[in-house]
Amino acid sequence: MRSVLFLAAAAACTVAYHPVFFMHGIGGDSDDFYYLYRWINETHPGTPMYPISMFQGAPMSWLPLHYQVEKISAHIRAVVAAGAPGEFDNGYHLLCHSQGGLICRALVEEMDDHNVHTIISMAGPQLGVYGNSFFDFEKIPLFENLTCKDIWHVAYTPEAQLTLSVANMWNDPKHNETYYQQNVFLPHINGLDSDAARLKANFLRLQKAVFVVGEFEGAEGGYDGGIQPWQSGVFGFFDSSGGTYDVTHHAVWRNDSFGLRTLNETGRLVLGSYPGVRHDAWILDKKTFMTYTLPYLV
């Protein structure tokens, strides 16, 4: 009888970790989470983990973001439906890197039936991208004969918006009016159109939202090695004069357009920028992961 009671007590004390879905960034694939998979297994053994093997590499990861969100949402629904009894009853986490961080936020807002417990965006361009360093790094064929200051002429056309993720992420601070009128993705998921109430309700079902990024003051126009400006990872961005602003100066905060400020007021939001953490360190450096990411995978 004593041994039976001991086993029952041990079972009661066993930590059941939430399942984790991984989403890679632009040009990446599910193998990007090789080390994270190992480190989670070491520290949270038994965690169900599901790398999303979709839209991998170039040119698949360049496909438009609304299309990726739609297909990945369907994939998650299928995985949850096929899960072991009770596996997803208490929700699941989204652990997402770079472009994947933006995709995952959009997914949370668009999925009326999601059961996401925590979203973790690692260096995700939440307010988009802009700048020479990002432009030179990505080498997108459609833009190869353009300068950074001219990309908006192409990026904000219907053709580019319906075919290319970078066009969806391009946020030219010197052409805000055109951006708001013709970018079909970012203004929408930022709650700046007529669908805002639904997106906000879905976002507010989260138990926690974590947005982390490396901080590089004065370096390469705010470039972290993958996104520019780095401030976009925590909802800051360039202003029209070339300076930067933080989240509190944007409509997503002032108007609480999709629920970001409400999450903060209820203790469910983490916005963290950490000096010197390069873009790929979030998926390659164990100390970075253990310090800034793992604590939220509970």
Catalytic residue positions?
98, 224, 279
Q: Which residues contact 284 (CB under 8 A, 6 or more apart)?
A: 35
User: How many C-beta atoms surround the C-beta of residue 287 within 10 A?
Assistant: 9
Strands 20-23 and 92-97: parallel
* Token pair 């805000």: residue: 176
Half-sphere exposure of 146 (CA within 13 A, CB side): 16
For β-strands 49-51 and 269-275, DSSP reports them as unpaired
CA distance 280 to 264: 27
Contacts of 134 (CB under 8 A, 6+ apart): 223, 226, 227, 228
Q: Which of 203, 288, 282, 213 is nearest to 246 (CA)?
A: 213
Of 107, 50, 112, which is closest to residue 83 (Cα–Cα)? 50
